[in-house]
């Protein structure tokens, strides 16, 4: 039991993979510094504030927030691989695009029901990840990164040249979504509430996985794969499982993206999307789940809103933010919570020591 605990913590002194040094996840997670009840209260308050946004904002910022939520679902899947499992990926945009194309095709040819489209996107993202992931998960580090990049670019090229799905022009003509056979959700606020509900459900499901024994196994493999293998675990199989799960999450995100845009193109699954998703994880803090969601919102805000007001120099701003985070906040935005908690703990310990003396 002691050996297993050490494996989970990675207390072996073994060198870490230098490929993911910038993406080093928080060992205990920023949320570990908050009691469970307080975390629940904060989560409910955040969801309530987000749900109230359409009541006080105009349609344009509501639509922008809808895109942020859909993109955040993709980023959660990337963080599941990068932060929790230690597998930095540039291929999740492929499954994001598969989910988006699936949702549009279902909406055009079968039904406008948003639930059916989201489930179809989840299934197709899972299937695509299962087909392509068995080879990728056998690699680690830079080899894994390049394999996922090759997968993403291959799927992007297929979508760009396949006339049956619109080719480079993409797919348009998706009708407005509806729920359970009801009227179409034409107002931006209704679409936003639907995307928020699904995003919150995905976040909760992934959080349960991360906190489960399977999630601890993934962190153990991330920290010391050799020790976990010696304890009888099968790292390749565990990585394959989380790769498929991340593909399913990305598929749901793609379906949500298509439902708010009612259009999908090969650009929605290109390298830029994959790079922005990985950048969101780095900025937000790998391994914390909620931190990368903040990173996703920041990245899309800079790309879609701020860039237009600064002469199209959004990528330059994102590059500067990335450099600043790497050098000043290596644990990302989420690490600020842990830093404050550690400072409070150090201060309390120093006071107790002074009182005892």
Q: Residue 85 CB: number of other CB atoms within 10 A?
A: 26
Asked if 92 and 149 count as a contact pair (C-beta separation under 8 A), the reply is: no
Distances, alpha carbon 9 to alpha carbons 124, 291, 331, in Å = 35, 21, 17
Q: What is the gyration radius of the CA atoms in the chain, in angstroms?
A: 21
**Domain range annotation of the chain:** 2-356
φ/ψ (deg, to 5) at 324: -65, -40
pLDDT at 180: 87
| Nearest-angstrom CA–CA distance, 311 and 248 | 37
CATH code, residues 2-356 = 1.10.3470
As averages over each run of 10 residues, the pLDDT of the chain (357 residues) reads 45 42 41 60 88 92 94 95 91 94 94 94 96 87 91 92 88 90 88 95 94 92 88 89 95 95 91 92 87 91 81 81 82 69 59 66
User: What local confidence, expressed as pLDDT, does residue 158 receive?
Assistant: 92
Name the burial class of residue 279, with classes exposed (0-12), middle (13-18) and buried (19+) by CB atoms within 10 angstroms of its CB: buried
pLDDT (0 to 100) of residue 117? 95
pLDDT of res. 226 = 87
- pLDDT on residue 232: 86
pLDDT at position 21 is 41
Q: Which of 314, 320, 339 is nearest to 329 (CA)?
A: 339
Task: Please name the residue ranges forming H helices in the chain.
Answer: 2-9, 36-56, 59-79, 92-109, 114-136, 141-161, 188-211, 213-223, 225-230, 235-261, 271-284, 290-300, 307-309, 314-328, 335-356
């Amino acid at each position: 039991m002691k050996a297993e605990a050490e494996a989970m913590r990675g207390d072996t002194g073994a060198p870490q993979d230098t490929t993911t040094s910038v993406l080093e996840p928080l060992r205990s997670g920023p949320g570990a510094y908050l009691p469970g009840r307080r975390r629940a209260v904060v989560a409910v308050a955040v969801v309530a504030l987000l749900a109230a946004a359409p009541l006080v904002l105009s349609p344009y910022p509501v639509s922008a927030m809808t895109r942020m939520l859909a993109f955040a679902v993709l980023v959660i899947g990337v963080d599941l691989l990068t932060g929790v499992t230690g597998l930095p990926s540039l291929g999740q945009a492929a499954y994001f695009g598969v989910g988006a194309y699936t949702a549009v095709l279902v909406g055009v040819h079968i039904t406008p029901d948003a639930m059916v489209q989201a489930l179809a996107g989840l299934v197709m993202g899972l299937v695509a990840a299962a087909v392509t992931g068995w080879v990728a998960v056998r690699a680690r580090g830079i080899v894994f990164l390049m394999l996922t990049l090759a997968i993403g670019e291959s799927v992007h090229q297929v979508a760009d040249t396949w006339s049956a799905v619109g080719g480079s022009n993409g797919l348009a003509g998706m009708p407005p979504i509806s729920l359970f056979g009801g009227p179409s959700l034409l107002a931006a606020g209704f679409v936003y509430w639907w995307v928020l509900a699904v995003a919150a459900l995905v976040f909760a499901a992934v959080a349960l996985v991360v906190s489960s024994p399977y999630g601890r196994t993934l962190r153990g493999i991330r920290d010391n794969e050799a020790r976990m293998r010696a304890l009888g675990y099968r790292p390749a199989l565990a990585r394959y499982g989380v790769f498929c799960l991340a593909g399913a999450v990305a598929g749901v995100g793609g379906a949500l993206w298509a439902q708010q845009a009612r259009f999908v193109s090969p650009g929605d699954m290109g390298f830029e999307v994959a790079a922005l998703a990985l950048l969101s994880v780095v900025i937000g803090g790998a391994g914390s789940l909620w931190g990368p969601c903040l990173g996703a919102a920041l990245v899309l805000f800079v790309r879609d809103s701020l860039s237009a007001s600064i002469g199209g120099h959004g990528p330059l701003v994102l590059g500067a933010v990335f450099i600043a985070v790497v050098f000043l906040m290596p644990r990302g935005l989420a690490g600020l919570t842990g830093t404050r908690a550690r400072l409070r703990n150090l201060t309390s310990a120093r006071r107790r020591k002074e009182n005892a003396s």
